């Protein structure tokens, strides 16, 4: 099972060449095997915040971009439930304070999934399995 970090999701949709081959191969293999790529609903929040703050520019309105992503058959959005919320604040020795990263990592850990991320701090977080380069 695979969970996409926010930047991996945005790049997979808008600029897939930015994702290194090992991560692309893993994602394509999962899709070919009939699996879905999981995306935390926290990533939706993060994309909307980045657009609102002018740090991310999309080719369409953010609501339309999200709706199109929701229609992709191999994407499965994972809601932030109480279990994920609690786990996100109980991550032992987590490498930074970003709440979005905490929720996304808690989602991946709760699902027993590999996280596709280019965030080096997350690669070094021992409880988490990651793929990128």
Q: Which domains does the chain have, with CATH numbers?
A: 2-131 (3.40.50.1010)
- The answer to whether the pTM exceeds 0.85 is yes
Q: What is the pLDDT of residues 40-76, one digit of tens each?
A: 999 999 999 999 999 999 999 999 999 999 999 999 9
Which tokens in the block code for residue 52? 């609102």
User: Per residue in 27-52, is it b (16+ CB within 10 Å) or e — as a string?
Assistant: beebeeeeebbbbbbbbbebbeebbe
Question: What is the rounded distance in angstroms from the CA atom of residue 114 to the CA atom of residue 101?
Answer: 14
Q: What is the pLDDT of residues 97-126, one digit of tens each?
A: 899 999 999 999 999 999 999 999 999 999
Give yes or no for a contact between 41 and 84, defined as CB atoms under 8 angstroms apart: no
What's phi and psi for 77, nearest 5 deg? -85, 130
């Amino acid at each position: 099972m695979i969970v996409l970090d926010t930047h991996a999701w945005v790049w997979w949709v808008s600029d897939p060449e930015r994702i290194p081959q090992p991560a692309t191969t893993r994602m394509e293999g999962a899709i070919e095997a009939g699996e879905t790529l999981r995306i935390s609903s926290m990533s939706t929040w993060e994309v909307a915040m980045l657009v609102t703050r002018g740090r991310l520019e999309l080719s369409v309105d953010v609501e339309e971009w999200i709706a199109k992503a929701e229609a992709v058959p191999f994407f499965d959005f994972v809601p932030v439930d109480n279990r994920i919320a609690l786990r996100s604040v109980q991550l032992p020795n987590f490498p930074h304070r970003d709440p979005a990263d905490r929720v996304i990592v808690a989602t991946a850990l709760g699902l027993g999934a590999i996280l596709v991320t280019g965030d080096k701090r997350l690669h070094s977080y021992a409880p988490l399995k990651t793929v990128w380069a």
